[in-house]
Structure formats: C-alpha cells, structure tokens
C-alpha cells in the first residue's frame, strides 16, 4: 500500500511539472545572500507573480554564501530547469526551529538537482521533523558533503519525512553524503527512481537513516522500478533502528541489487526481480 501511494505521488509530481507555462526568457534565480522564502514568494523573481506559497523559477542556483530560510509552514519550489546548490548554499529552517512540525518542502524540477560541497536542505521541527519531497525529471545527485535532513529537536520527538523521486538516477556519491529523518523516534526516508535499464538507478555511497535514538525505529524504503540498486560502500550506512522497536528497511529493484544482501539495520526486506541490465 505504501509503495502504491508513493508511485501515485511520483506521477502527481510529473503533473505539477507540466502545469505551468514558463516565461522562457527569464534567467535562473541566483541566491547569494540570506533571504526568507516569504520574501521570494510573490516577489519580482517569482514567475507566477503571486504570494501563494509557490516560488516559480527558470532554474535555481544557491551559491556558497546563499541561504533560503524556510519561514513559512509550506514552501513549494517549481523549477523549470536545474536546482544547483554550491558549497555551503542552503535551503533550511532557522538554526533554532520555531515551527512544529517542521515545514513542508516540495521541490519539483524539470531538470536535475545537483548538491555539492557542504550544501544543505533541512526541515527541522520541534517535536516532529518537517517533510522534504524532491521530484525531478532528471537526476538527483549529492556529492562531497551535501545533506538532506528532517529531524526533531526535543526528547520524545519524531523524525520527519524525506522523499527523493526521479525519472533519472538518484546518487549519493560520497560516504559523507547524508539523507536522514532522525529523532528520538525515527521518521521515514524513501528513494525512488524510474531510470530505465541502469543497474545503478539508485546508488548509495553515503548514509540513509531514519533512526530512533530513544524510541521507535523508523522506515527506509529504496525502490528502482525499472533499473537496479547499488549500495557501493559495503559498510553499514542504511539504518532505521530504534531502542524500543527495530524499524524497517526495504528494497524493491526490477534489475539487480548489489550486493545481494546489503548491510542494514534492521536486516532488509528485499524484492529483487533480477532482470539483466542493458
């Protein structure tokens, strides 16, 4: 049932992408300072021109000194082109979270999401982490020390939700990359790719966690509906454990899963159809 709902979300994201009529002449929006999302929404660089919780751009570049502060309960980024985050560029909640749960963040792009350096997407909440959903027609690539996280910040809190969905590949290139939804009770992380024929439609060399540090374990779900999944590092980097319940890790792959039984905590439920790669 969960996978059915998530596949529905993926195709709903594709529908959102097709809805706007883009002002093609507009250059990408480049963020070089700290700015609130509320100041961008409906501002001169918002192509829909409306203060409606949706920032519409022809590409979005967050440079090394740029930060978008998530100061509203919901922030939707509708991007015709790529999301590029460089060095310490960030889309994040304030250093001390003020919202509970953390903000709902939806990033929908017709191109790729490329996160480099120490770039960060974060939606923390007080007793419950926020929700971060990224849907791309292209690839989602985290390299160097890039992180995506939705945590709670108090005792007995719950991790949030982080969902990455792409028609292309999803790659955590380095062991220092992190996609996490942790708390005293674990949250939910899912990575889903529709890249065709690739044995590494989802490739993981970093950390994917939904850990409960003093309570319930969370859930990690990794799906390659047409391609395969590769866990490259060979170390224990995928976990959804808790102290009072084990949580759940699951894989679905149309092609090969490499290795056949990746190291996870708890041990994963695996559905591997094993069709050959081209």
**Residues 258 and 278 sit within 8 Å (Cβ to Cβ):** no
Residue 144 scores a pLDDT above 60? yes
Residue 277 lies in a domain: no
In angstroms, rounded to a whole number, what is the distance separating the alpha carbons of residues 202 and 228? 7
Residue 65 lies in a domain: yes
**Residues 129 and 161 sit within 8 Å (Cβ to Cβ):** yes
Residue 103 belongs to domain spanning: 2-22+31-272
Q: What angle do CA 123, 236, 153 make, to 5 degrees?
A: 25
Q: Which of 1-15, 49-63, 128-142 has the lowest mean pLDDT?
A: 1-15
Q: Which residue has the higher pLDDT, 14 or 202?
A: 202
In angstroms, rounded to a whole number, what is the distance separating the alpha carbons of residues 116 and 102? 24
According to DSSP, the β-strands at 202-204 and 120-122 are unpaired
Start-to-end C-alpha separation, the chain: 30
The percent of residues in the chain predicted with pLDDT above 90, rounded, is 81
Residue 221 lies in a domain: yes
Give me the number of domains the chain comprises.
1
> Which tokens hold the place of 197?
């024929």
Residue 143 lies in a domain: yes
11-68 tens-digit pLDDT:
445 545 544 444 556 899 999 999 999 999 999 999 999 999 999 999 999 999 899 9
> Which tokens hold the place of 240?
């959804």
Chain-centre distance for alpha carbon 221? 12
- Given pLDDT bands bounded at 50, 70 and 90, which one contains residue 5? very low
Residue 278 lies in a domain: no
Q: What is the pTM of this model?
A: 0.92
Residue 172 lies in a domain: yes
Cβ neighbours of residue 217 closer than 8 Å, sequence gap 6 or more? 186, 210, 211, 240, 241, 242, 245, 246, 247, 248, 266
Residue 116 lies in a domain: yes
18 burial via Cβ count (<10 Å: 0-12, 13-18, 19+): exposed
Chain-centre distance for alpha carbon 39? 24
pLDDT of residue 113: 98
């Amino acid at each position: 049932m969960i996978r059915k709902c998530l596949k529905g979300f993926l195709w709903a994201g594709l529908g959102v992408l097709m809805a706007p009529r883009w002002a093609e002449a507009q250059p990408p929006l480049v963020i070089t300072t700290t700015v609130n999302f509320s100041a961008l929404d409906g501002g001169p660089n918002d192509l829909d021109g409306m203060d409606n919780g949706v920032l519409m751009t022809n590409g979005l570049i967050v440079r090394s000194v740029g930060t978008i502060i998530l100061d509203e309960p919901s922030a939707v980024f509708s991007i015709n082109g790529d999301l590029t985050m460089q060095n310490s560029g960030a889309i994040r909640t304030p250093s001390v979270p003020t919202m509970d749960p953390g903000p709902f963040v939806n990033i929908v792009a017709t191109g790729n999401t490329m996160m480099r350096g120490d770039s960060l997407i974060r939606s923390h909440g007080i007793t419950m982490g926020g929700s971060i959903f990224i849907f791309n027609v292209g690839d989602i690539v985290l390299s160097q020390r890039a992180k995506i996280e939705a945590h709670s910040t108090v005792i007995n809190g719950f991790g949030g939700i982080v969902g990455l969905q792409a028609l292309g590949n999803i790659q955590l290139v380095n062991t220092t990359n992190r996609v996490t939804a942790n708390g005293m009770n674990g949250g939910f992380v899912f990575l889903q790719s529709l890249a065709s024929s690739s044995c590494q439609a989802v490739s993981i060399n970093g950390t994917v966690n939904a850990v409960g540090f003093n309570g319930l374990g969370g859930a990690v779900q990794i799906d390659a509906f047409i391609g395969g999944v590769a866990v490259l590092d060979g170390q224990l980097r995928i976990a959804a454990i808790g102290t009072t319940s084990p949580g759940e890790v699951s894989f679905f792959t149309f092609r090969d899963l490499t290795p056949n039984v990746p190291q996870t905590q708890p041990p994963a439920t695996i559905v591997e159809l094993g069709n050959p790669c081209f």
